[in-house]
Every structure is written in structure tokens, then in C-alpha cells.
Amino acid sequence: MAAALRLCAQSYTVVIVEPTRWLGGQATSQGVSALDEHRYIETFGGSPDYLNWRRMIRQRMATLYGITPPELATFNPGNAWVSNLCFFPHVANQCITEMLLPYIDSGMCRVLTNAQLISVQREKSSINEVTIRQYGSTCTVCGAFYIDATELGDVLYHANLTYSIGFESSDATGEELAPQTARPNEVQGFTYCFAVSFNPGESHRIAKPEGYDQLRDQQPFTLTLTSDAGDARPFSVFIDGPTGLPPFWTYRRLWDGNQTNPPTRDIAMINWNSNDYHHGSIIDVSDDVVSSRLDEAKRLSLAFLFWMQTEMPRDDGGFGYPELKLECDIMGSDDGLSMFPYIRESRRTIGMKRIVAHDLLVTHQPYARAKRYDDSVGIGWYFMDLHPAPGNPKSMFAPTRPFQIPLGALLPPDCSNLVMGNKNIATTHLSNGSYRLHPVEWNIGAVAGELCAYAMANTLNLHHIWHQDAKLRVFQKHLLRHNHPIAWCVDVPFGHPCSAVTQYLITRGILQGSPWRAYQLEVCCDQPLADAEWYQLQRILLEEEVELRDMVRESSWNDVCCQLHASLFGLDM
């Protein structure tokens, strides 16, 4: 969606192939409508379309219930504790469709829903066409460029390109936490999310799912989680847990009924360790195996619901909450489960540049930011969050530094007109745990669209843009002109006169050796440059063939950026 919006905005024709009837993937058809974001997202770090989408969701959720929130800009419909913004999946789909509608109506954007990629024709290092099946018929789509935004990296597979799956070996990635021998089947579990409402005094118990006892015991079903250190973390349902943890119910609550007068029903989305399916991968296995595992994953989620209704310990004593009602209309499906499983891990390109765990883990990065990529085209921030996988029941939730998205990770080395558009970029099993979240994937998609538009406008080869410094720098400036973030500087968001120059200089390495700015995400524009920063600035300007005139050594960061603005970006920003 992000890629299509950026391409259409620059008058390029786009075809979107969507396997369900809803646009939006993770936030809609997969049911994860509680956004996994970082603490600065309201003011810094999101691409413009993403932030606009969030504003539209808030407005539409308020309108749906006929309320006027005190502060629409920070309105959280669910008041959940996992996210600043929780909402109904169908609302997110409506907003995305509305954003694309002008381009759909003009014929610039064609959307093929309930469609599947079935083959890719590639000649040497270039894709010529793809074949799509929709409603029993097939069609061929030809384009100048292709963006693989499929949940499992299907273009990589059908084009017979090099890719990685599961847990790579330490020899392949250099990661200390990786195994000595690769484990390709160790792919993070996937989940069929569902939504339930709470209806006091009513009973909405579902039929006992097939294989319930086995599914319950092998998972197991519980509200007590175990931390990485092995500590038990017990949750209660509607009240704080015995150790002070917030309620399970409000974890991913999509609608807080107390926001209306009189109150309406609470509705929560269930995406919990107990309904994560990690008993087999659906990547590179037969269709029969995929079908069997998807069926079992659906039964697992329904079994967890049945356990919640019949065996889950009640806060008031006893067991089971039959008052919980499966809300089928929330997910837009007949069975009440998400249309598509929530996919955490995909096939991944090897990339021109690979992102590894020690590039972003706090234990390996001493400064405020993760490793600097000189080809950065976006940013993100999330824990390295890995769920159990086949053969490995352990999870991981390790702190990271705010990180960048390198352009080289979006480019397969063996195809010159294909861009990776989401979690299938060149991460590893470990680093994927930080790059697979909503705002990061949107930023990746936006860059993929901008890159294709830039290449077409200038008749450029995608690999040449990455290989040639001058072309890469022009593209990075192009992104900054369009308010797309590429570096972390939370006190100078877009709209601040220093923002574009600051992000560009940080990406070029001005903070190397910085005595204090490297240790914080703020640049403090009123403060002068340190000696090390001044030295790095001279290096950058020499490479840019730009002179810094009439600037005394004591000049502030703001003064330096203001003077460099026209030299680096022209007068059109």
C-alpha cells in the first residue's frame, strides 16, 4: 500500500495483487490492528502516508461511535497498553482504500483482490512478467519494476532467486546468537487472530474444537508467561495481576466501551503466546502440508477461545468466561478468525547488504543509535522480538537502538528490477524480529515505491543507484524532500528548518567521534558543533563539493544547517 501510494502520487501506473479481499495485510486481513510502534511515533519516525493513515483511523473510529475525543491526535480507541493506536481491522482497510481511491478511479491503480501469484518469468537478471490467478482465471502482468510485498517472499521463490529462510548459521551471518548449523525450518510461529467482546450475564460458548485437549496441552494455554530469564509473569483477566502486571483483557483491546455514554461493549483482539502456531512452517513445503498446518492453526486459535470461555481462571474465582463472544464481523470472516494468518517471518533476500543482530542490539551498540548505514533510506525502532518456532519453544525480547533501513537490504543481488517491499528484506532470523513491525514495513514499502519512481524518472538501474555514491546521495535527498525520515533526530522533526540537513549529515557520519550528540537522539540545534563534528562536517562538504562560507567555529548546529540547506537541497524545499 505504501509503495503504491508513492508511485501513484508521481503518476506511475500500479497493479496491486492482494490474496484476500481487504487491502492492508498485517493491520487488516491479518487482524493485528494494535500497532507495534516506538515511543516517538506521534511526532517522529513515520512516513507521511503512514501518519496520515493513522489520523484517518482515529477519526473514523470516533465517527463510528459518535464521539468527539478530547484530543483526536492522541486518541486510542482501545486504550490498550501494548500500543498508542488500537482499532478495528475493517476500519484500517476502509482508510487505505480511501487513500488509494482517487488513483483507482483514474485507472492509475488497479487492484486484483482474491488473487495469487502463480509464476514469474525471469530472463537472466530481469523479471519480464508475472502470472496471476484470480477467480479461476489467469492473467499476465508486465512492468518496468516489481515489488515483492508478499507475506512469504513469493516472488523470490517463483523467480528462483537466492533467499534465506529460518535461522541462518553463525558462519553465514557472523551473529554470536546464531547456531553453528543453519536451521531452515526454524521460522517464527504465525497466528490467526480473533476478536471477542465482553457481555456480562450472557453465554456465548462456542462448540468444542476438534483436537481441543491435545492443542490445549501442547501449547499450553495459560495467562502466565515466562521471561527470557525464566521468571514467571502471571496475568489476571480484567484486573492487575498478582505481581502488578496490567490486565490480559486490555493488552490488545480494540475498543474501550467506557469511551461512550452510556458505555458500550469492550472488544479485544487476541494475539497471545497461546494461539501462536509454532509446530511447523508453511514456507517451502507442499500445498497439502500448508493446508494441514493452516487448518491446525485455526483450530488452535478457536481452542484457545474455548479455553478462555471454559477453563481460564476467573478474577472472581472459578473458571471460564462464557461472557466472551467471538465477533465475526470484526475480522470480516465467517469463522471469526483473521482472513490471513499473521506472518512474522518470510523468505528473505540475501541483499546487497545484510542487516545482522549486532548492528542494532543494545549489547553491541554503545551509542544512542544503532549502526549507521551510509545507504540509509528509512528508520525504525522495536525490540528484537522473536516468537517460538518449530524446534525452538523459546522466545526473545531484547532491547535495540533506534535503527536505519539500508537500501542495499531491499535489493536482491540476482535481479535488477525487483525490490523487496516488507519483512522479506535482507535481515536475518534474529534481526527480522525488529524489522517486521507495522511502521517499519510501511517505511520499507514507501522507499520501494519511491525507488522505482526515481529509477523510472531518471532511466536508472536499481543496482546502479546503490553502487554509485552520487546517485545514492541524490535519492536520499529526494526522500528527505518528501518528508521521509532516514536518520534519528527526534527534536528536529519534519517542519523544523534543520530537519532535512540534520538527517542527511547524520547519515553521512557527522556524529562519528561526537563527544555527546552520539549518546542521545536529540541534536540540540542551539548548541555549537563539537570539534569531532566540525572535522566530520569538513569531510562531508569536501565530498559534496560544497563550501561553508562565513561560518565561524562557534556557530550553532542550527546556523550550520540553515546555511547548508540551499547548497545541499536547493531552494525548493
Q: For residue 77, what is its C-alpha cell?
A: 480507541
Per-residue pLDDT band for 428 (boundaries 50, 70, 90) equals: very high
Confidence check: pLDDT of 251 > 90: yes
Q: Which residues contact 115 (CB under 8 A, 6 or more apart)?
A: 17, 18, 19, 132, 133, 134
Q: What is the pTM of this model?
A: 0.96
Question: What's the gap between Cα 447 and its chain centre?
Answer: 13
What pLDDT, on a 0 to 100 scale, did the predictor assign at position 187? Answer: 98
Please report which confidence band the pLDDT of residue 551 belongs to, taking 50, 70 and 90 as the band edges: low
Amino acid of residue 66: G
Q: Which residues neighbour 506 within 8 Å (Cβ) at sequence distance 6 or greater?
A: 369, 372, 487, 488, 489, 523
State which H helix or E strand residue 268 sits in.
strand 267-270
- Note whether 487 and 507 are within 8 A (CB): yes
- Report the alpha-carbon distance of residue 325 to residue 321 in Å, rounded: 9
Let me know: does 383 contact 430? Beta carbons within 8 Å.
Answer: no
Report the C-alpha gap between 481 and 230 in whole angstroms.
48
Question: Residue range 331-338: average pLDDT?
Answer: 95
pLDDT at 236 over 80: yes
Alpha-carbon gap, residue 342 to 282, rounded angstroms: 12
Confidence label for 549 from pLDDT (cuts 50, 70 and 90)? confident
Burial class (CB in 10 A: 0-12, 13-18, 19+), 532: middle
CB 217 within 8 A of CB 307: no
What is the CATH number that goes with domain 2-184+344-472? 3.50.50
Task: HSE, CB side, 13 Å, CA atoms: give it for residue 271.
Answer: 28
Cα gap 209→335, rounded to integer Å: 12
Tens digit of pLDDT for each residue in 199-224? 999 999 999 999 999 999 999 999 99
CA angle 531, 533, 535 (to 5 degrees): 70
572 band by pLDDT with thresholds 50, 70 and 90 = low
> What's the pLDDT band for 2 if we cut at 50, 70, 90?
very high
Q: Would you say residue 384 has pLDDT above 70? A: yes
Percentage of the chain with pLDDT > 90? 94
Q: Could you read off the pLDDT of 101-113 as tens digits, one per residue?
A: 999 999 999 999 9
- Which of 78-92, 144-158, 230-244 is the least confident region? 230-244
Share of the chain above pLDDT 70, in %: 99
pLDDT of residue 227: 72
Q: What is the mean pLDDT of residues 530-550?
A: 89
Confidence grade of residue 232 (pLDDT, cut at 50, 70, 90)? confident
d(Cα 120, Cα 143) in Å, to the nearest integer? 12
Q: What pLDDT, on a 0 to 100 scale, did the predictor assign at position 550?
A: 67
* Residue 116: how many other CB atoms lie within 10 Å: 15
Residue 573's pLDDT band (boundaries 50, 70, 90)? very low
- Residue 547: other Cβ atoms inside 10 A: 11
Residue pLDDT, tens place only, 284-294: 999 999 999 99
* Cβ–Cβ under 8 Å, residues 420 and 412: yes
pLDDT at position 552, please? 67
Q: Work out the average pLDDT over 50-75.
A: 96
Mean pLDDT of the chain: 95
- pLDDT over 80 at 172, yes or no: yes
Rounded to an integer, what distance in angstroms lies between the CA atom of residue 73 and that of residue 82? 18
**pLDDT tens-digit profile of 10-41?**
999 999 999 999 999 999 999 999 999 999 99
Give the residue extent of every domain in the chain.
Answer: 2-184+344-472, 190-331, 489-569
For helices 557-569 and 499-508, the axis angle rounded to 10 degrees is 90
SS3 85: coil
CB of 168 closer than 8 Å to CB of 429: yes
Angle in degrees, 0-180, between the axes of helices 438-457 and 48-64, rounded to the nearest 10: 130
Q: Are 347 and 163 in contact (CB under 8 A)?
A: yes
Tell the burial category of 470 from Cβ atoms under 10 Å away from its Cβ (0-12, 13-18, 19+).
Answer: exposed
- Containing 406, the helix (H) or strand (E) segment is strand 403-406
In three-state secondary structure terms, 119 is strand
